[in-house]
Amino acid sequence: MIDKRSPFFAYRYLVTPVSEQITIIQELNESKEALMKGVIKNLASNVKSEWIKGNKRFLFYSFQDKDDIFIIKFARESNENIYVEGDNDIEIKGIKEAKYVYLIIDTTNQIILVERNVSVFQQIESSVNFLAEFFRSQMIKYDYVVNIYPLVSSKKFWNYVETAEEIYELSLVMNAPNMALFGNSDTRDVLQQIKEATNNEILDISFKNKEGRLKIMKETLGDYIDYVREVGGKYLLKFKRNGIRETKTSESDTSKTYIKRKKNEKYSDDELQNIKDKLNSIHRLENREDETDEE
């Protein structure tokens, strides 16, 4: 049986060394890309994997994988009460539920598609934050850290800027250089120089004007904004439009696509190819557009 098409939101995972100095652990192991793929492949090959964070228990169930595309069920355990008929009164019985969302992970393009299901995670950002913590806990063993950032649509940001009457703030979060050939080369070089000097993992930059006279020009900031949107990072924009102050972030602008949600049977080869085509399109900013299908 096949459910209706579900919304999947697109994120980039980025693996960064903890230090500019190559450690002994890194020398003894494979590349960071191969190590991260190994962590993901392990989740996809095990029937069930468990991860405990504080007092929360998470489960990963393998579903399907082919050609560097891994499909995994990601569940959060919760305790629920049910009310049942007893001999003398209504009885309360506790049950453990493991509601889940699907993850579709592309290790070639370093993309994760996360299914949105508010009955599992009320905010999709929560599921992504937990995923990032899980992958960090696995990769720190090899002296690497992992960040997961939204991949935003190709046009919305500049539409906000162009239609704004006043702009008060632009904040950017940029991951240290991670993916070769992505993002403007001058931007990568600047970020690499900063990382070599400071050993930073991310770089925060804020531009503010309390009077709303902030200027955001493609000629001056375009390369940095494209880096955030294409390679990995976040943006926050505060502005006024039609007399109303608004705040837009990359979380509210995350690119999404719609994919049929399977229950038991696997995806066919044609369906997997369709998913792969979607991922390849999302990978590059100029091809990235939201689908407009109704949920």
pLDDT, tens digit (0-9, with 9 covering 90-100), for 238-257: 999 999 999 999 888 888 99
Residues 278 and 234 placed together within one structural domain of the fold = no
The answer to whether residue 195 sits within a structural domain is yes
- In a shared domain, residues 205 and 141: no
Taking a C-beta distance cutoff of 8 angstroms, is the pair 282, 255 a contact? yes
CA dihedral 132, 138, 144, 150 (to 10 degrees): -20
Reference 256, options 207, 219, 216, 293; nearest CA is 293
Residue 32, in any domain of the structure? yes
- Are residue 213 and residue 258 in the same domain, yes or no? no
The residue with greater pLDDT, 47 or 201, is 47
Q: Are residues 83 and 211 in the same domain?
A: no
141 and 18 fall within a common domain: yes
Q: CA 173, 219, 247 angle in degrees (round to 5)?
A: 45
The pLDDT of residue 225 is: 87
290 in a structural domain: no
pLDDT at 180 over 60: no
Can you give the pTM of this predicted structure?
0.86
137 shares a domain with 9: yes
> Do residues 140 and 163 share a domain?
no
Q: If pLDDT is split at 50, 70 and 90, which confidence band does 99 have?
A: confident
Instruction: Answer yes or no: do 49 and 181 share one domain.
Output: no
Tens digits of per-residue pLDDT, 131-146? 999 999 999 999 999 9
Q: Domain range spanning residue 202?
A: 156-252
3-state percent breakdown (helix, strand, coil) of the chain, nearest 5? 30, 40, 25
**238 and 93 belong to one structural domain:** no
* 39 and 79 assigned to the same domain: yes
The answer to whether position 291 is within a domain reads no
CB 149 within 8 A of CB 285: no
Q: Helices 185-198 and 218-230, interaxial angle, to 10°?
A: 70
93 & 211 share domain: no
Place of tokens 């950017």: 172
Domain count, the chain: 2
In-domain check, residue 289: no
**If pLDDT is split at 50, 70 and 90, which confidence band does 11 have?**
very high
DSSP classification of residue 254: B
**pLDDT, mean of residues 186-193:** 74
Q: C-alpha dihedral over 191, 197, 200, 202, to 10 degrees?
A: -20
pLDDT tens digits for range 43-69: 998 999 999 988 889 999 999 999 899
